[in-house]
Amino acid sequence: MAEMNQITKVVLCWEMFLSGTPVSHIAKHLQISRDTAHRWIKEIKKQGGEPELFLDNYLAAKKGSRRKRKVDGLLKKRIWRIREDNKNCCGQKVRYHLEKEYGLKLGVTTIYKILAEKYTLRTKWKKNQKRGLVPKASKPREVIQMDTVDFGDIFAFCGVDIFTKEVDVLLRTSLTSHDGHLFLKQAMRRRFDGYVELIQTDGGSEFKDEFKQHVLEYAQRHRVARPYKKNEQAYIESFNRSLRKECLGWSKYKTKDLPILTKEVEDYLQYYHTKRPHLSLGMRPPLVK
């Protein structure tokens, strides 16, 4: 029945075209796209204006299963190279670089299928799960989230402006409130303009005692995220994953590795702020206007 209906549309399309009806009106009346209407008219013209001949070919093409389209091998290599050159970036960023470098447009679903041929990709994000309260920001320096990442004998103190996505990192060989205070001074003076409205941390010992004694020198308010509510620290958790995935990995390091890791982190921060496209910023790096 569906094929008969489509055949009727083809015939009506040609008859309306012969009567002088604009293609846009034909498409609207038959509930098809203008591209489809143009294609039908063009193919019927090739058959000398005989819609029956066109329909013979049309029905023949409908028979049997279609062969799957093959993706060009060169395109696959480009997609794999883009991912590797950009710190194993996500499919959306691969699509951005693919269009920017080669002028090619490809769907994210197709890109992920190609990536899955060579890489083990993590499972999809589960939607519709309950989320804790997250501080909102409508301007720069309104909310800074801070956290730490364990790399064995080395700990990364991290902070992010949740509006501009600017970040700072300090590597230390201990996890004390003194280390937290040192990071607070560095981050606020070097990256976050000295004073903000809110600094949010978790309840770790590195953000107590000496850190708490000085935090209000750099912020109007200090908020401690609720325990076991990871989504309250979503922005800094996201950056922590990026730091592992794109820079330091999941290895455990020794104290002696501190100088070389510090150099790697500083290089990564330069890349992050000036070259790495950010999804929530419209594929713009944080410090590129």
Within this chain, do residues 180 and 77 fall inside the same structural domain, yes or no?
A: no
- Measuring CA to CA, which residue among 166, 172, 140, 139 is closest to residue 153? 172
Q: Show the CA angle centred on residue 112, arms to residues 106 and 114, nearest 5°.
A: 80
281 CB-near residues (< 8 Å, 6+ apart)? 165
pLDDT digit string (tens) for the chain, length 289 residues: 344 478 888 888 888 899 889 988 888 888 888 888 998 999 888 888 888 888 887 777 666 555 555 667 888 999 999 999 988 888 889 999 999 998 888 888 889 989 988 888 765 545 555 544 578 899 999 999 999 999 999 999 999 999 999 999 999 999 999 999 999 999 999 999 999 999 999 999 999 999 999 999 999 999 999 887 778 999 999 999 999 999 999 999 999 999 999 999 999 999 999 999 999 899 999 999 8
CATH of the domain at 16: 1.10.10
What is the rounded radius of gyration, in angstroms, for the C-alpha atoms of the chain? 28
Within this chain, do residues 96 and 54 fall inside the same structural domain, yes or no?
A: no
Structural domain boundaries, residue 105: 73-116
CATH of the domain at 182: 3.30.420.10
Question: In the chain, how many domains are there?
Answer: 3
